[in-house]
Structure 1
Amino acid sequence: MRRTFVPLACAALITSVAQAQTPASPQAPAVDARVASPATPAPPTGSVTLEAAVQTALQLNPQLRAATADLAASDGSVRQAGLLPNPVLGVEQEDTRSATRTTTVQLSQTLELGGKRAARVELAQRGQDIAALDLAARRADVRADAIQAFFNALTAQERVKVAEESLRIAASGADAAARRVTAGKVSPTEETRARVAAASARIELRQAQAERSAALHGLTAVMGLQEGAIQQLDGPVDVLPPAPSAVDIVARLADAPSVRRAQMEIQRADAGYTLARAQGVPDLTVGVGAKRAQELGRTQAVISVSVPLPFFDRNQGAQLEALRRKDAAQARAQAEALRVRSEVLQLADLLQARRDEVDALRREVLPGAQSAYEAARTGFELGKFSFLDALDAQRTWLQVRCQYYAALAQVHRHAAEIDRQLGTPNDRPAMGTQP
């Protein structure tokens, strides 16, 4: 019986032959360990700066962790695509009588021809590259969301200070009006108006505090922290980001995450077409084994070779589909580049307009409104102006300050949106082997 399985020793050569028929699987790009398994940083304590908010968000944001896991999972697709087909062990018996039965044991192996394995690996590799670009786009989103949330909270914090000052001024005006009424210099109506103004200031302060609380909740969610983890922000709210020029935008357009992803979709579609063509080439199946005929009393070697005849199915339909998908990917890539360019140019114009507004408010409107208020307040205290004049000047000054902080928030929001669309050098992943 030992001689029955001697020919099967040759089956070990089949796997090595199969390896020789297909190129080695290209190595998948190693995922940065800092990205795949980020160390959990300690939550920021004390006053939170913009840099701390962004870095914490990039480490703890749940959506970013999900995109990182998707990239790590794509490595399994690359490995699976490079595996060889399993050999097949078959046993066949003819006749059930021990004296005349014939037993055949055969080990067969399919040899993939036409570059199927390499094409599968290439397609899986392009999918992994797209997952890396999705991670880069998600990082840009999280960074932009963190910047926007930080400056929303920071400007809300400044508006609370403005409201507190407004309440202090209103309370002081109410006290001054009461003293003048007591002295008989003005009618009690002036004191009533002053008390109403103070009550309105208290309402505005509560609204500003609620807006600050809501903005802090939004920042906490983006950073991936527990509620109440942030109480105070630290940073200059009036430092304006630069507005990119049209030349800078065009230069950065090719590195925009969505544009790079659209270009990678073209490469994946091309890899899909290559695989569809390779699948039209028939595979070769070889087998080796032994046949034991009891009636003859000897063992015979069995060698088999089989190949499908591509008379009808040459995978021509799949090839046509892959070609059309490649055409569609090219059209979508062009549309995406045009969309990003148009939106970023619009954002750049809005950013510049807001910068001009902030500059005008800072240089002309704010100093003038403050000077008018101080003059009206002094005149009211000296009895030269009515309380309505002082109240109107006060409201104008405070409204201008609120407008100033709202314009600052818009400047930072537009700048963050531009970075979201164009990405940053830190968001560009290392791609695998390009086709």
Structure 2
Amino acid sequence: MCRFSVPLAFALTAFASASVLAQSVGTSAAPVSVAQASSAPPLTLAAAVQTALQNHPDLSAARREIEATEGARTQAAAYQNPSLSVEVEDLRRDTRTTTVMWSQPFELGGKRGARIAAADRATELARAQLDAKQAELRANVTAAFFTSLIAQERVRLAQASLDLARTGTQTGSKRVISGKVSPVEETRAKVAEANVRLELIQAQGELQNSLQELRSLMAQASAVSALDGNALTLPALLPQEALEQRIADAPALRQARLEVRRLAALADLESAKRVPDITVNAGIKRAQDQGRNQAVIGISIPLPVFDTNRGAIFEALRRQDKAEDEARAIELRLRADVAVARERQATASAEVAAVQAEILPGAQSAFDAASKGFELGKFDYLEALDAQRSLLQARAQYLRSVAEAHRAATDLDRLLGVSVSIP
């Protein structure tokens, strides 16, 4: 922002009351459009979030995963199919014996219930993953929206500074013609105006980039031409007690705990597999040489002599233990990240308050005094220029602090899965 070095002392008539900066750094009442000429209604944050939640392919993919797990749950509840077998002894017609057998396997040991429970846990995990993706997308859209609003404010500042620089250049040219100042001062004014014009071009480029990012997150084909919002309104700072309550239901922690439950269900399923299943056989045997039918009934059961499923049970239990350890690690990391994000937001909010209450008024007062003194011949050009730089640097610090407060709040959104950053 130091490149906004414009000899505003030459433009006292255009900047005497400091109304431009007061309007920019205060709580601006009216939203600013990116393209004032656009007839489309300005985009609000709520509309941007809603559009993203409806259109983004990541969420569609997560919903497909839920549907897939629901299909797996249906399959898990299915009973085993019976089998029909036909056996012929002796191919000669007169002495042939034909046996038709119907076999029905029955699961024992609660395998079907354990299988259903594991499928239910997988569906719950898929739903939690969808919630996490929604929270991530909502936070990203919110961050992109406020980044665009901050960029919009920078464009406004650059445009206002360019207007003042042009006025300063014109005033300097008139003073050079009248012989009141050296031609060097006019050259300085023109160089400063060129720097401000370059800064405006860069600010406009940053604005277009942020709007493109917002459009991409919304999965929207049409360009975003206008925003409806106030970037200078700080997000609310939640108390620590409220954050602690929301940590327990954070998306990452919910997924970790559901993964533990899913692996526990799979461990139960492996334990149930230790119990062998039985197969009941029933059929009819036709002996041609005797000319009569005979009922055939039987039962079969595998003997768990060599394979007791011990290795699979051990593997499932250890994976469950691993998931529990990872869940505890995620909770520790989550609490640390939430604390850091909240501290960043508190620090940025304090910086905004300090800049708005002390630094900006002081810089404005110094600039007004230096400009008036230069007009009366008490100060030279460099003193007025230094006061102007201090004022613009204070404004830049204000915008940086506001942007950091919004970034920290959206990081909390992402971690907690709830919207705490929308003013």
Which TM-score bucket, shorter chain as reference?
A: 0.7 to 0.9
Query: Partner residue of 1:16?
Result: none
Asked if residue 188 in structure 1 is aligned to residue 183 in structure 2, the reply is: yes
Structure 2 letter corresponding to 1:162: L
| Corresponding residue number in structure 2 for 1:178 | 173
Match of 2:107 among 112, 123, 139: 112
**Residue 64 (structure 1) aligned with residue 66 (structure 2):** no
What corresponds to 1:124 in structure 2?
Answer: 119
Which residue in the other structure is 2:131 paired with?
136
User: Distance in 2 between the 1:393 and 1:343 partners?
Assistant: 40
Aligned partner of 1:86 in structure 2 is 81
Q: Structure 2 residue aligned with 1:155, among 150, 156, 164?
A: 150
* Cα separation, 2, equivalents of 1:111 and 1:376: 94
What is residue 7 of structure 1 aligned with on the other side? none
Aligned length: 382
Contact 2:413 2:419 in 1 (8 A): no
Tell me how far apart the structure 2 counterparts of residues 234 and 371 of structure 1 sit (CA, whole Å). 32
Question: Is residue 333 from structure 1 mapped to residue 324 from structure 2 by the alignment?
Answer: no
Aligned pairs for 1:353-432 (under 5 A) are: 353-424=347-418
Task: Pick closer, same or farther for the CA change 1:280–1:45 going to 2, 3 Å.
Answer: farther
Q: Quote the offset at 1:324 in angstroms.
A: 1.1
CA contact (8 A) 1:249 1:341 kept: no
Counterpart in the other structure of 1:263: 257
Match 1:323 to one of 317, 323, 326: 317
What TM-score, normalized by structure 1, do the two folds share? 0.85
In 2, distance between residues paired with 1:340 and 1:303? 62
Amino acid at match of 1:121: I
Q: Deviations over 1:344-394 (max 9, x none)?
A: 001111110000011111111122222333333444445544333333322
> Contact conserved, 1:176 with 1:381, CA < 8 A, in 2?
no
Q: Distance in 2 between matches of 1:298 and 1:145?
A: 79
RMSD (Å) for aligned C-alpha atoms: 1.7
Q: Which stretch shows the higher mean deviation, 54-63 or 106-115?
A: 54-63
For residue 304 of structure 1, the aligned residue among 298, 320, 338 is 298
2:246 equivalent in structure 1: 252
Q: Distance in 2 between matches of 1:45 and 1:281?
A: 68
- Counterpart Cα distance in 2 of 1:277 and 1:78: 19
Please give the TM-score of this superposition, normalised by the length of structure 2: 0.87
Higher RCO (Cα < 8 Å, 6 or more apart): 2
Equivalent in the alignment of 2:70:
75
The percent of aligned pairs where both chains have the same amino acid is 48
Q: Secondary structure at the match of 1:302?
A: strand
* Inter-partner Cα distance in structure 2 for 1:102 and 1:380: 122
Partner of 2:229: 235
Structure 1: gaps of 5 or more residues: 1-43, 427-435
Give the secondary-structure state (helix, strand or coil) at the position aligned to 2:136. Answer: helix
Describe the SS at the equivalent of 1:365.
Answer: helix
Q: Residues 50-79 of structure 1: CA distance to partner in whole angstroms, max 9, x if unpaired?
A: 111111111112212211221122110110
- Supply the distance in 2 between the matched residues of 1:415 and 1:267 (Cα, whole angstroms): 31
C-alpha offsets along residues 121-144 of structure 1, whole Å, 9 cap, x if unaligned?
000110110001101110110110
Q: Which amino acid aligns with 1:47?
A: P
Pairwise CA distance, 1:401: 1.5
Distance in 1 between residues matched to 2:329 and 2:98, nearest whole Å: 65
Deviation of residue 309 (structure 1)? 1.2
8 Å CA contact 1:166–1:398 kept in 2: the answer is no
Q: Deviations over 1:149-200 (max 9, x none)?
A: 0000000001000000111111111111111111101110000000000000
Alpha-carbon distance in 1 for matches of 2:382, 2:161: 16
Q: CA contact under 8 A between 1:372 and 1:393: conserved in structure 2?
A: yes
Show structure 2 runs of 5+ residues with no match. 1-38
Secondary structure of 2:280's counterpart equals strand
Q: Secondary structure at the match of 1:282?
A: coil
Q: Is the 8 A contact 2:101 2:284 kept in 1?
A: yes
SS in 1 for 2:102: strand
CA distance in 1, matches of 2:370, 2:62: 58
